[in-house]
Chains A and B, each alone.
Chain A
Amino acid sequence: MPEVLKKNSKSGYFRFLKKFDCIVIGAGHAGAEAAHITAKAGFQTLLITMNVDTIAQMSCNPAIGGVAKGHIVREVDALGGIMGKAIDRTGIHFKMLNQSKGPAVWSPRAQADKKLYQQEIKFFLENTENLQILQDTVSQIIVKNKKVQGVLTSRGFEYLSNNIIVTTGTFLRGLIHIGEFEFKAGRFGDKSSEDLSASILSMGFPIKRLKTGTPPRIDGKTINYEKTTIQPPDNVWQPFSYENEYAHKKPNLKQINCHITYTNHKMHEYIRKNIGRSPLYSGKIQSTGPRYCPSIEDKIVRFADKERHQIFLEPEGLNTQEVYCNGISTSLPEDIQWKFVRSIPALEEAVIIRPGYAIEYDYVSPTELTPWLETKKINGLFFAGQINGTTGYEEAAGQGLMAGYNVIQKLLKKPAFVLQRDEAYIGVLIDDLVTKGVDEPYRMFTSRAEYRLLLRQDNADKRLMKYAKEIGLQKEIFKEMNERYKKYFEVKKLIKNTKTDNVHIKKLKAKEVEVQKGTTIESIFKRPQITSDIISLIFDFVSYKKNGIKLSQKEKELIAMEIKYEGYIEREKSKTKRRLEADLKKIPEKINYDKIEGLKYEARQKLKKIKPLTIGQASRISGVDPSDIDVLLLYMKALNLKLKY
């Protein structure tokens, strides 16, 4: 029988004889994507998780997507990730948000059947070739000469690889607070990881603390739904995954409603009276929580004049009574939670199944990372997800995927793969992280993207699928994608060349649109108040059907929008050219910032710490002003001259 393990007589550890191309520590939303993509690209991958039953667990709300986050899921999907596919199979309430605005800010969101989602991802990973899953806890990362060698687990096993992706989420020295009560946990019900932090610290990474929170889960049969407002899902399903979109699939599971209720004055008063018992206010929790996801006690203190706050009652699945109370995340003691929950209309009789809690956890400042998520200090060591100070399943998935891509690039001996800010929200996310660092849990917003008009959720395939194809993924669907955009291109050309005749004029007049003979169809789209009704009428004037082209109403509206806002989109595109110039100007690796005269103190310190790769990145560091960039450019110019002669 061939040997699988070898015991080291000195240390007493067992060494797994097979060497892996990549080891992923943690199987949350980042870890799952990372492990899947490296294995899928043909590399031997080991995924180590503390508990196989909690792979891709939704620790907080049972939903995927949302404004900007939904964009990221679409990008992950285009790049060959699994999040979009899993939510499409397990979503129980889909909604395209922001549809009253333009298409650049439409964003898909879905409630998931939480257990099914997890199982779906687990099953996906189990069926991925080249991927080995292991339940164990990593206690140490083995490093030699600033290069990772492998990991050591708490049960005394060594696994070797020169590429390690750390995706530990909130598990590093996680500490849960429920009022005065506190205990070590990675998530309610799961053990925290205590030793790995020390190992990371010993490699020279500064470790800091962040905080986040979650609301109570209550028993659905104790909710009086009659007092709530119903929030139905969309009638027309718009999936996350391009695969399902192209195939015009229908949702897999039954679609159900969400419900909305509101806090009231009585509850606010009660919380205010007991605010001293919140660890956030008693001083027990010092670390920073996210501003955009404040606890209910924070909302009541900071926005004292607001009379009520919205609560979304979100079912956690089809086969459970647990309901997630989105909007009242709290760290107040359980006795207070019972009372304030029952002061909310519709929840007068509510029974809490799991209390809300706050959790503090370790993270490593992402300024320790290169734009391809490898640490600057240790070769082959990648960090992705919440360990980098982000929050959100989608943000985690995006990073996990990019870390995986870069391990692949490294194994293929190809240059690093970095998405640009004008290419993807994932590019914005990672550039922000590694350039600016974080001081609160980082969540994506469309406001963080300076090229918002370009980064639409519908065109993520056009923007990114080519990269998946390069590593041998998405081959089939890539063709379909090309067909689709070719079709759009042709229709647009036809629209440009079609002019109104007398019949058109008459038909348009019936819709109260006045045009003259010979007006281009294109120019009508640029007019204000062209409704979807008029759009479909105008498309009938264009002879695209003769070319065998079929268009859905959604596609017609999209094309009309693109034509309408063409000028604005083009302007953003031209801006990206300027940005590209700066991002192509590489800063020499061995530049000595101490030698550059004229740099401001703060700028010098920041540049030394962040070591930007390009002038573009340098210019995005806070504290580095245009004058510092000028000085840097002058210095580089002088350096170049010296090199020449």
Chain B
Amino acid sequence: MVIPFIEPYSYTGEESAEIHCHGNPLILKNILKILFEIGFQKAEPGEFTKRAYLNNKLDLTQAEAVKEIIESRGEKELQNALYLKEGIFKKHILAFKSKLLNLLADLSAELDFIDEDIQFTSKKNKINILNSLIKDIKELLKNANEMERYRDGIEISILGFTNVGKSSLLNYFAGSDRAIVSELPGTTRDYLEILMNIKGMPVKMIDTAGIRDNAENTIEKEGIRRSINKAKESDILFILLDASLEKSKSLKNSPLDQLCKLAEKTNLIIFFILNKWDIVHNSWKVENFKNVVINKIKFKNKVFYEKTSVKSEYGLKSLQNNLHKVILSISPHTDGIMMSAWQKEIFEEVLVELEESLNLILLNEALEVIVSCIQNSVDLLGKLTGEVQSEDLLGRIFSRFCIGK
């Protein structure tokens, strides 16, 4: 099936066509082969968007947003990307830029209208404004970094000694939520991962290689090392323990101990999943477990203790509910704006300029040098919205001050 688009009503604004066919890769390959033979060329990455941009179908920030849509998986992420396309990001930049321009106007007025009887912004006020701008930018970057999690999804690593039921737990989630169990390419990957969608968030759950206390062979040791490293990069940790082993070993000195210690410092959220709880002795309480197994580790985040039996599905609903709550709580604010690496880089450069300006003001350095830093940051922001036209700075000055002898 071929759908033609007549210019300028296509995405790029040029004449174009879409070919829809059966998903068989072989058929696809053949169609492409024929097209290339008669003179078609492969699009470069982002070429359609670039053409759309050149044909004025999109502005720069919108063009960036399209990239996000292509890459987005979760619903929430998609929603965010759509906001971007609508120009919310641009609005944010413009609001920020406007504040910055007011400051620039104030400082420029001080350079150009020395003879005027004007009360210029005080040093204290300049410092306050810059501090607030710096705070704004840090907030934007922080939110963007939080949003970044979306792109790869929230990551949950399941860790535990061998034979505690990690795979069964994974399979449970794989079956209950919409999930894809992926076989990742490459032979060195010794863990399984599934992709799910929880509360609109893409979530990746990883089953790592089992940990044995006294692994002997080097391959196994390497596997354990990798599992631990993987877990460190995650957002949530499922530490699965066999609660039925009466003399549950203390975690102390085991590889898992390192992770728990790490949790003292990082934002890792830990779920201790006390599996096989159904066959545990009645007298065995979570409290005992804490005392014996966890050993006075002070966790920075809330730690969850889930009594489960994966086999009988006992406690799994509760685990799932708590997990959903946690995911909601660590989901970024809806007003957070996701940024591409390029956009972030620009904001970071702006931040450097502003911090430098602040420093120069504190040191009473030459005003025109301070202005040059602030002007630089305005120019940088201009790159984001695609305007390089110098703003009507003088217009701002004249509307703010009574100028003229």
Interface residues of A (CB under 8 A from B): 61, 66-68, 97-98, 101-105, 262, 290-294, 299, 302-303, 306, 308-310, 312, 326-327, 329, 445-448, 450, 452-453, 528-529, 561, 565, 568, 571-572, 598, 600, 619-620, 622, 625-627, 630-631, 634
Say yes or no for B115: interface residue by CB 8 A criterion. yes
Query: B404 to A292, Cβ gap below 8 A?
Result: yes
Contact with A along B364-378 (1 / 0, CB 8 A): 111111011101100
- Measured CA separation A312–B404 after assembly (Å): 11
Closest 4 CB pairs of A and B: A102-B366, A310-B117, A303-B402, A528-B363
- Measured CA separation A56–B373 after assembly (Å): 40
- Measured CA separation A450–B393 after assembly (Å): 12
The residues of A that contact B365 with a CB separation of less than 8 Å are 102, 528
The residues of A that contact B389 with a CB separation of less than 8 Å are 620, 622, 625
Say yes or no for B112: interface residue by CB 8 A criterion. yes
B310 to A: closest C-beta gap in Å = 57
Query: A101 to B403, Cβ gap below 8 A?
Result: no
Query: B366 to A306, Cβ gap below 8 A?
Result: no
A227 to B: closest C-beta gap in Å = 17
Some 29 contacts from A to B, beta carbons below 8 A apart, are A67-B111, A98-B114, A101-B368, A102-B366, A102-B369, A103-B366, A262-B117, A292-B404, A293-B405, A294-B403, A299-B402, A309-B402, A310-B116, A312-B115, A327-B405, A447-B112, A447-B393, A447-B394, A528-B363, A528-B364, A565-B369, A568-B373, A572-B372, A598-B54, A598-B56, A625-B386, A627-B53, A627-B59, A634-B54
- Measured CA separation A294–B116 after assembly (Å): 13
Q: Which residue of A lies closest to B365 (CB)?
A: A528
B contact residues, total (Cβ < 8 Å):
41
- Measured CA separation A566–B230 after assembly (Å): 47
The residues of B that contact A600 with a CB separation of less than 8 Å are 56
Say yes or no for B397: interface residue by CB 8 A criterion. yes
Q: Which residue of B lies closest to A327 (CB)?
A: B405
Q: Which of B335-368 contact A (CB under 8 A)?
A: 363-368
Q: Which residue of B lies closest to A215 (CB)?
A: B405
- Measured CA separation A329–B403 after assembly (Å): 13
- Measured CA separation A170–B212 after assembly (Å): 94
B151 to A: closest C-beta gap in Å = 27
- Measured CA separation A627–B365 after assembly (Å): 38
- Measured CA separation A175–B101 after assembly (Å): 38
Say yes or no for B55: interface residue by CB 8 A criterion. yes
Given contacts A326-B405, A453-B372, A619-B388, 18 further A-B contacts (CB under 8 A): A66-B115, A97-B114, A98-B114, A290-B404, A292-B404, A293-B404, A302-B402, A306-B402, A329-B404, A452-B372, A528-B363, A528-B364, A571-B372, A598-B56, A625-B387, A626-B387, A627-B59, A630-B54
- Measured CA separation A310–B119 after assembly (Å): 12
Say yes or no for B24: interface residue by CB 8 A criterion. no
Query: B364 to A102, Cβ gap below 8 A?
Result: no
The residues of B that contact A306 with a CB separation of less than 8 Å are 402
A229 to B: closest C-beta gap in Å = 11
The residues of B that contact A292 with a CB separation of less than 8 Å are 113, 394, 398, 403-404
B60 to A: closest C-beta gap in Å = 8
Query: B402 to A452, Cβ gap below 8 A?
Result: no
Query: B54 to A631, Cβ gap below 8 A?
Result: yes
The residues of A that contact B55 with a CB separation of less than 8 Å are 598
Q: Which of B218-270 contact A (CB under 8 A)?
A: none
A478 to B: closest C-beta gap in Å = 28
B246 to A: closest C-beta gap in Å = 67
The residues of B that contact A329 with a CB separation of less than 8 Å are 404
Query: B402 to A447, Cβ gap below 8 A?
Result: no
- Measured CA separation A439–B307 after assembly (Å): 77
Q: Which residue of A lies closest to B375 (CB)?
A: A450
Query: B393 to A97, Cβ gap below 8 A?
Result: no
Query: A104 to B390, Cβ gap below 8 A?
Result: no
Interface residues of B (CB under 8 A from A): 13, 53-56, 59-60, 108, 111-117, 363-369, 371-373, 375-376, 386-390, 393-395, 397-398, 402-405
- Measured CA separation A104–B366 after assembly (Å): 9
A292 to B: closest C-beta gap in Å = 5
- Measured CA separation A301–B112 after assembly (Å): 23
Query: B388 to A626, Cβ gap below 8 A?
Result: yes
- Measured CA separation A293–B112 after assembly (Å): 13
The residues of A that contact B395 with a CB separation of less than 8 Å are 291
Of the residues B13, B112, B113, B367, contact of A102 by C-beta under 8 Å: B367
> In the complex, which of the residues B55, B60, B397, B402 has the most CB atoms of chain A within 10 Å of its own CB atom?
B402
The residues of B that contact A310 with a CB separation of less than 8 Å are 116-117, 405
The residues of A that contact B363 with a CB separation of less than 8 Å are 528-529
Tell me whether chain A's interface is mostly helix, strand or loop, or mixed.
loop
Query: B371 to A312, Cβ gap below 8 A?
Result: no
- Measured CA separation A102–B389 after assembly (Å): 27
The residues of A that contact B373 with a CB separation of less than 8 Å are 568
Given contacts A528-B365, A627-B386, are A299 and B112 in contact (CB under 8 A)?
no
- Measured CA separation A67–B111 after assembly (Å): 8
The residues of A that contact B116 with a CB separation of less than 8 Å are 310
Of the residues A105, A448, A529, contact of B364 by C-beta under 8 Å: A529
Of the residues B369, B393, B404, contact of A294 by C-beta under 8 Å: B404
The residues of A that contact B387 with a CB separation of less than 8 Å are 625-626
Given contacts A67-B114, A447-B393, A625-B386, are A452 and B53 in contact (CB under 8 A)?
no
The residues of B that contact A101 with a CB separation of less than 8 Å are 111, 366-368
Query: A98 to B111, Cβ gap below 8 A?
Result: yes
- Measured CA separation A631–B51 after assembly (Å): 10
The residues of B that contact A303 with a CB separation of less than 8 Å are 402
The residues of B that contact A326 with a CB separation of less than 8 Å are 405
Q: Which residue of A lies closest to B398 (CB)?
A: A291
- Measured CA separation A614–B371 after assembly (Å): 28
- Measured CA separation A576–B67 after assembly (Å): 33
Query: A450 to B390, Cβ gap below 8 A?
Result: yes
- Measured CA separation A622–B391 after assembly (Å): 10
The residues of A that contact B403 with a CB separation of less than 8 Å are 291-292, 294
- Measured CA separation A299–B398 after assembly (Å): 11
Q: Which residue of B lies closest to A619 (CB)?
A: B388
B292 to A: closest C-beta gap in Å = 58
- Measured CA separation A572–B367 after assembly (Å): 15
- Measured CA separation A276–B372 after assembly (Å): 44
Q: Which residue of A lies closest to B63 (CB)?
A: A627
Query: A627 to B54, Cβ gap below 8 A?
Result: yes
Query: A446 to B112, Cβ gap below 8 A?
Result: yes
A411 to B: closest C-beta gap in Å = 36
The residues of A that contact B397 with a CB separation of less than 8 Å are 447
> In the complex, which of the residues A67, A292, A294, A528 has the most CB atoms of chain B within 10 Å of its own CB atom?
A292
Given contacts A97-B115, A294-B404, A625-B387, are A448 and B369 in contact (CB under 8 A)?
no
A11 to B: closest C-beta gap in Å = 49
Q: Which residue of A lies closest to B359 (CB)?
A: A528
Q: Which residue of B lies closest to A311 (CB)?
A: B405
A449 to B: closest C-beta gap in Å = 10
Query: B404 to A453, Cβ gap below 8 A?
Result: no
The residues of B that contact A627 with a CB separation of less than 8 Å are 53-54, 56, 59, 386
The residues of A that contact B115 with a CB separation of less than 8 Å are 66-67, 97, 312
A320 to B: closest C-beta gap in Å = 20
Of the residues A97, A299, A448, A631, contact of B404 by C-beta under 8 Å: A299
The residues of B that contact A448 with a CB separation of less than 8 Å are 394
- Measured CA separation A262–B367 after assembly (Å): 28
The residues of B that contact A98 with a CB separation of less than 8 Å are 111, 114
Query: B368 to A105, Cβ gap below 8 A?
Result: yes
- Measured CA separation A299–B117 after assembly (Å): 12
> In the complex, which of the residues A326, A447, A565 has the most CB atoms of chain B within 10 Å of its own CB atom?
A447
B58 to A: closest C-beta gap in Å = 9
- Measured CA separation A571–B352 after assembly (Å): 15
Q: Which residue of A lies closest to B110 (CB)?
A: A101
> In the complex, which of the residues A98, A293, A450, A529 has the most CB atoms of chain B within 10 Å of its own CB atom?
A98
